[in-house]
């Protein structure tokens, strides 16, 4: 694989906050946003419209309940967390189309996009808590 192949493959399997926000604003159909963190972290704050599927729960038993025609976009807290990668790998292994949000929730918020849920982090130390 050369550099061109690598970067084209990366673009196939990842998205960034700005591109995802544009897709959501345009009403791109068939995307399911998946927060792969634990329910408590999801309840505190999550991307608008996201569902909560902690990465360890994404198993063959769950597959029948998921839309086979959807493209799943996984995310977790941020770049220091790999729950979204684990969730994406689990979904891909089950045959689903999947992309990973670069930078996760922290990048989403850093770019100024809104979140849903509770009140978000209580203090700066909570802002850097993975919640996976």
* Distance (Å, whole) CA 97 – CA 88: 9
Residue 66 lies in a domain: yes
* Distance (Å, whole) CA 23 – CA 74: 15
* Distance (Å, whole) CA 74 – CA 69: 16
The model's pLDDT over 6-31, given as tens digits with 9 standing for 90+, comes to 999 999 999 999 999 999 999 999 99
- Name the β-bridge partners of 97: 71
CB atoms within 10 A of CB 93: 13
**Tokens (6 digits) for 123:** 């203090």
Residue appearing with tokens 């989403």: 108
**Tokens (6 digits) for 52:** 């909560």
**Tokens (6 digits) for 14:** 């990842």
End-to-end CA distance of the chain: 33
Residue 77 lies in a domain: yes
* Distance (Å, whole) CA 83 – CA 132: 6
The model's pLDDT over 31-69, given as tens digits with 9 standing for 90+, comes to 999 999 999 999 999 999 999 999 999 999 999 999 999
- Total domains in the chain come to 1
* Distance (Å, whole) CA 123 – CA 23: 31
pLDDT of residue 124 exceeding 60: no
CATH number at residue 42: 3.40.250.10
User: Which pLDDT belongs to residue 130?
Assistant: 65
Residue 5 lies in a domain: no
Q: Which residues are catalytic?
A: 76
* Distance (Å, whole) CA 92 – CA 6: 18
Structural domain boundaries enclosing 104: 14-127
**Tokens (6 digits) for 55:** 């990465």
Residue 2 lies in a domain: no
Residue appearing with tokens 């025609």: 69
User: Which pLDDT belongs to residue 129?
Assistant: 55
């Amino acid at each position: 694989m050369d550099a061109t192949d690598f970067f084209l493959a990366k673009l196939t399997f990842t998205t960034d906050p700005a591109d995802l926000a544009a897709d959501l604003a345009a009403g791109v159909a068939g995307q399911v946003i998946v927060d792969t963190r634990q329910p408590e972290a999801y309840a505190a704050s999550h991307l608008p419209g996201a569902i909560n599927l902690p990465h360890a729960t994404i198993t063959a038993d769950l597959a029948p309940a998921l839309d086979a025609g959807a493209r799943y976009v996984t995310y977790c807290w941020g770049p220091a967390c790999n729950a979204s990668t684990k969730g994406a790998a689990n979904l891909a292994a089950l045959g689903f189309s999947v992309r990973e949000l670069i930078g996760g929730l922290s990048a989403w918020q850093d770019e100024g996009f809104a979140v849903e849920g509770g009140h978000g982090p209580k203090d700066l130390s909570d802002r850097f808590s993975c919640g996976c």
